[in-house]
Chains A and B, each alone.
Chain A
Amino acid sequence: MIQKAMPTSRRTILKTLGGAAAVAAAGPSLFNVARAQAAPIKIGFPVPLTGPFGTEANDQVKAAQIAVKQFNDAGGFEGRMAELLVRDDRLNPGEAATRTLELIEKDKVNFLVGSLSAAVQLSINNVAKERGVIFNSISQSDAINEAKDWSKYTFHEALNPHITAGAVGRYAFSKFGKKVAFLTADYAYGHEMVRGFKRAGEGMGIEVLADVRHPIGASDYSAFLPRIQALKPDVLVLCNFGRDQVVSIKQATEFGLKRTTKLVAPVLLFTARKAGGDSFEGVVGGSSYYWRLEDKVASAKAFNDAFRAANGGAVPSDYGALGYAGVRSVLAAVAAARSTDTDRVIEAMRALKYDWYKGPQYYRGCDHQSVQSVLILESKHKDMKNADDVFSIAAVEEPDEAKLRTCAEMGHKA
């Protein structure tokens, strides 16, 4: 790590001088000792606070702060408190790379957790791995765990498109029919989702009628719909995200597609459902988390309660919750390793068997992908307990390493 390579850099000297000045001002030497020992454990947290995923990103920050608070309330690690350094990456990989450089070079963070887009996480990962800093990614991508991008410093807390699409496909194709059409955002995330669905459908004898690829961020989907409507598929899979998903589901509903076809989304976002309103009725999709999991899982209840208490009764969203898990894993590994040394924390993270908020999880050895459950959700519009009760949990696919692509397929040796 950089700090070690330059033990007496200009900054260290400045810091020491600054510390001395502060002591001189404060008077009692008590502060001096306390401060020298309790250098905080810094976690850099780049997320897109502004822009179209601002709601999720803010949720991620709130959730991550809970993990930090719990760690600190429990006394930290040998008196060292955790500290979250939040940065706005503006959903732009270039800005994310700059912010990551800032966090590593100027703020000297110990670890990085964050990101909310495939391109951004790959950018942060590239900068972090070159400099030997652990990065725990909390958004979806297949590429980040493949040998080409992955490094031993790379961890992936979120689900990935292959796992999510597989689980949703196995559920949807068996239940709603085998004639399938895709409406896919034309970028890696969308293509990875389609690949996952097709793989899941291979053994089930599905027939792919069309894979229509729309430009990402299209403002209108009506022009893609008549063709899909004419094909009369049993299932229409919408492999897109965020506002793309809201608008495409809304317009598919408008075109009357729901009369003949079940709408399925690999990732059904809590926030998108709220922005989309009634047009989501009956839509089925996957998720890493939904707050009603608390009815069955104790850790979910505990996490929700902590989140509610800190945020005026609001419940955490799916991607928000990942902020909690991502930070908690790193801090738990610090405690287990009894060290903040990168290599020892990596070992500890690899050895974690954890249940932070959704049931048992662990990182797969060869690529550090978190093996975890997938929830199958259905959007609901009656019998709602409150305004946040927007999904029913239709099924849960339990964690199973066999559902992941094999290590060999990802380009890893073991």
Chain B
Amino acid sequence: MMAFPPELLAMQLVTGLALGAVYVLLAIGLSLIFGMLTVVNFAHGAFFMVGAYMGVFLYGLTGNFLVSLVVVPLAVGGIGLVVERFLVRPLYGRGIDYPLLLTFGLSYVFIEVVRILFGLNGLPFSPPEMLQGAVDIGIGYFPLYRLFLIAATAVVVLALWLFIERTAFGLVIRAGARDPEIVRVLGIDVSKIWLVVFGIGTGIAGLSGVLAAPLQGVAPEMGVPILAEAFVVTVVGGMGSLVGAVIAGLLVGVVVAMTSLFAPEMAKVSIFALMALVLLVRPRGLMGRAGLMG
């Protein structure tokens, strides 16, 4: 194996964490929806893409990135609410196959609608002025925006954790994930909780779209490859586990970064190899619970 200087290895590690940040955001949304609703959301990548386009569009209108960061998760989450209420809800209790087909169809619709509205070609987008450029982090120059991304992800994860662990509503969510029957017996309307959870999950997907837009610009197909990667992260972490999604997201980011250095052409397959390995040793992922999904 080639020898690389330690600064480069450290740099690669930071790069991996920044990469992992996007994975974490996507995976917690997926994991939340799966953990509560046992819906495998194949439209998650499309929600991500819609969020990115909305972010770019709003930025063009207002010139303020913060507006995009606040409004887009709410708007995409709103779409999520509508989708859950009218499309996903009729399917509860029919197994995981039907929501899967439905959300797959939905992703086609989203992508095509964006193509009709914004054209086939992608749109350019750059980080806002104050987040542009590279800063010296001691081991070399690193893009400021990617540092911001790591921080933003930490804030979102922390907020979500506080919401679930420290609020009354969060308590109901946790109870609902364990045993929806008991919650229903206690007189709580489970369908309302599921509605909100779907909204939160898709809202986070929209937010990660806005956050990823300055990294790559936007294109109608941008959610497709990243969906597969997000699934890998979710599964490696254990479906339904938020802590698992965070650990696995960062782990996958670092694994991708290190393979990119040592065996670059294997960067893409490495995450699938990692998933195979993890599942063969731990059949429910790193933090997966028994009982979920048989």
Contact = CB atoms under 8 A, between A and B. Distances in A.
A/B contact in complex, CB under 8 angstroms: yes
29 contacts: A54-B121, A58-B120, A214-B264, A215-B265, A215-B269, A218-B225, A218-B268, A219-B216, A220-B215, A222-B19, A223-B15, A223-B16, A227-B4, A227-B12, A227-B261, A230-B140, A243-B219, A246-B122, A246-B217, A250-B215, A250-B216, A254-B143, A254-B145, A271-B121, A275-B122, A275-B123, A277-B126, A278-B126, A279-B126
A220 B265 contact: no
B128 interface: no
B222 to A, nearest CB: 7
Contact of B12 (A223, A256, A279): A223
Interface of A: 51-52, 54-55, 58, 186, 212-215, 217-220, 222-227, 229-230, 243, 246-247, 250-251, 254-256, 271, 274-279
B294 interface: no
A246 B217 CA distance: 8
A275 B121 contact: yes
Interface residues of B, number: 48
A256 B217 contact: no
A53 B143 CA distance: 29
B119 A55 contact: yes
Interface in B61-89: none
A223 B261 contact: yes
Nearest to B145: A254
Contacts, number: 121
Contacts of B191: none
Given A223-B15, A227-B4, A277-B217, 6 more contacts: A214-B265, A215-B266, A222-B143, A226-B12, A243-B122, A275-B123
A230 B5 contact: yes
Contact of A247 (B16, B133, B217): B217
Looking at chain A's contact residues, the main secondary structure is helix
Interface in B135-157: 140-143, 145-146
B195 interface: no
A215 B267 contact: yes
| Residue of B5, B7, B267, B269 most packed against chain A (CB within 10 A) | B267
Contacts of A275: 121-124, 217, 219
| Residue of B119, B127, B140, B216 most packed against chain A (CB within 10 A) | B216
B140 A229 contact: yes
B260 A55 contact: no
Contacts of B11: 226, 230
Contacts of A227: 4, 8, 12, 261
A157 to B, nearest CB: 23
Nearest to B127: A254
Contacts of B217: 246-247, 250, 275-277
Contacts of B19: 220, 222-223
B8 A230 contact: yes
Given A223-B16, A229-B140, A275-B123, A247 B221 contact: no
Contacts of A220: 19, 22, 215-216
